Amino acid sequence: MSLQTKRLLLRRWEDGDAEDLFEYAKDPDVGPIAGWPPHRSVEESREIIRNVLSGPECYAICLKDDGRAIGAIELMRHTALVGGDGECELGYWLGKPFWGRGIMPEAARALLRRAFTELNMAKVWCGYYEGNLKSKRVQEKCGFRPEFVREGVELPLLHETRTDHVSSITREEWLQSQSHKTEGAMNMYIAICGLDCESCEARLATVHEDEALRESVAKRWSELNGVEITPDMIHCVGCRVDGLKTPYCESLCPIRQCAHERRCETCADCGDMAGCEKLGMITGNNAEALRRLREMSKQA
């Protein structure tokens, strides 16, 4: 059994994943905040794959690019939070190098879809321990709402107790969230930087085969950028749409290059969006672009 999203492959764990698991699970910033100690060896990681990450709905989170495990996500049927056959609990963790890219919300949404549409769940629980703000943010983005707080929860693997913040989402709430996706989050004509490609003159000239507009855009862009831009370069159907791109959009735009390096679909997926100097050159002069990105970030 495997699931796929735009960027991810969620598949069953295998013994061969032990080295990749150890690479990320040995990090003291990863396990303890989720309630388990760092792994001490590849062999320990292999045993955990066999005995812990072996549930029927436990998946290795992999990037489609290489298929290597970078985290785990699971729907669990028998936990302290689950109250009946129509309920389960969502648990997850992600390797630190992949934080801030919108990967975990993307994986969590895939599991929620499976829970409500394939496993016939009526309710999914989730929780985070005090201080784990990244996990809290994932749950907020996926539509979970706070239910209650549990004090003094024992963590036997760490020999300590913590405060657990518990949230949930029902099938009805999930269905409603699917029908009310914001236009900005779904619109592929919103550029990586938040600009509106639908109103871009390069796209309008391309779509309408308007040679006069193409020549006008080339002349204006040449003057603005201090380089020669010829009309034959003004061919673009949209920053995030498959098809023609201007040479700048295709290979020179620093924001596009940065997003691809970080495997972010838009700047809204990036954890560094707020303080990004590259993006600030756009949003500093275009408040609407920043508004779109913030709106998309709520759904990322």
42-60: per-residue pLDDT in tens? 999 999 999 999 999 999 9
Domain boundary residue among 180, 209, 225?
A: 180
Distance CA 81, CA 184 (A): 35
Max CA-CA distance within the chain? 73
- Note whether 195 and 282 are within 8 A (CB): yes
The DSSP bridge partners found for residue 149 are 165
88 and 62, same structural domain?
yes
In this prediction, residue 260 carries a pLDDT of: 85
In this prediction, residue 90 carries a pLDDT of: 98
167 and 33, same structural domain?
yes
226 and 270, same structural domain?
yes
In this prediction, residue 180 carries a pLDDT of: 56
Query: Reduced to 3 states, what is the DSSP secondary structure of residue 250?
Result: helix
Which of 9-13, 24-28, 175-179 is predicted least confidently? Answer: 175-179
- 300 — pLDDT class (breaks 50, 70, 90): low
Q: What is the pTM of this model?
A: 0.67
252 and 154, same structural domain?
no
190 and 74, same structural domain?
no
**Token pair of 72 as six digits:** 């785990």
Q: Report percent pLDDT > 90 for the chain.
A: 59
How many other CB atoms sit within 10 Å of the CB of residue 256? Answer: 20
171 and 37, same structural domain?
yes
Distance CA 127, CA 104 (A): 14
Domain boundary residue among 180, 203, 221?
A: 180
Query: Reduced to 3 states, what is the DSSP secondary structure of residue 146?
Result: strand
Q: How crowded is the C-beta side of 104, counted as CA atoms within 13 Å? A: 24
Distance CA 71, CA 254 (A): 29
122 and 35, same structural domain?
yes
**Token pair of 240 as six digits:** 């995030």
**Token pair of 224 as six digits:** 């603005």
- Could you tell me which residue, 15 or 199, shows the higher pLDDT? 15
DSSP state of 25: H
Structural domain count, the chain: 2
Q: What are the b/e assignments for 182-195, b being 16+ CB within 10 Å?
A: eebbeeebbbbbbb
Bridging pattern class, strands 8-11 and 58-63: antiparallel
140 and 33, same structural domain?
yes
| CATH of residue 53 | 3.40.630.30
Q: Is the pLDDT of residue 116 over 50?
A: yes
Degrees to nearest 5, angle at CA 35 with 173 and 100: 60
pLDDT for 226-281, tens place per residue?
A: 888 999 898 888 888 877 888 888 888 899 999 888 888 899 888 888 889 999 98
174 and 192, same structural domain?
no
